[in-house]
Amino acid sequence: MRSVTKALCLSSALLFCATLATTTTHADGRHYNDGPVVNVAAIRTVDGHFDDYMQWLATTWKKQEEAGKKAGLVLSYRVLVAEPRSPSDPDIYLVTEFKNWAALDGLGGKLDAVSTQVEGSLEKANQSEVDRAKIRTVLGSQTMQTAELK
């Protein structure tokens, strides 16, 4: 009988410890931690210019993103190609990951410096933007934060 009582006491103690550990882990009431901030830009290429835009992404845009990484502004980046469901849907998503929301403070000026470094001058970077408008349309973008589950 003692061994049964001992076993029950031990089981109860283990269950209590497991419950306590779970409660401690989620003591702040959240089941996630704030992760990196991600910006996703939705792009639709003009018919017949998909390859032209991909060529720009593989050259100039990639150089800009790599320079942003080297400067500590960008954690990662990627290009997602999508099958549009309608003429107004994007066929490309540009995903850029930042450390946190604070990383976006003053980002415009910092990225202008990166563009100048890559393209030679801000005027050339601006003209490049005008030229790209002939082969693609930016449908919008969304910035969101990753929730890293505990």
One-letter identity of residue 93: Y
Q: What is the mean pLDDT of the chain?
A: 86
Give per-residue pLDDT as tens, 41-81: 999 999 999 999 999 999 999 999 999 999 999 999 999 99
Residue 15 sits in the same domain as residue 45: no
Distance in angstroms (rounded) separating the CA atoms of residues 149 and 67: 31
Residue 17 sits in the same domain as residue 46: no
Residue 88 sits in the same domain as residue 74: yes
Estimate the crossing angle of helix 122-132 against helix 107-119, to 10 degrees: 90
Residue 73 sits in the same domain as residue 114: yes
Domain that holds residue 10: 1-29
Distance in angstroms (rounded) separating the CA atoms of residues 55 and 100: 30
Residue 80 sits in the same domain as residue 108: yes
Residue 59 sits in the same domain as residue 40: yes
Residue 61 sits in the same domain as residue 132: yes
Q: How many domains would you assign to the chain?
A: 2
Whether residue 92 has pLDDT greater than 60: yes
Residue 99 sits in the same domain as residue 145: yes
pTM of the model: 0.78
Give per-residue pLDDT as tens, 8-47: 444 444 455 455 554 455 567 899 999 999 999 999 999 9
Banded pLDDT at 2 (limits 50, 70, 90): low
The pLDDT score that the predictor gives to residue 4 is 47
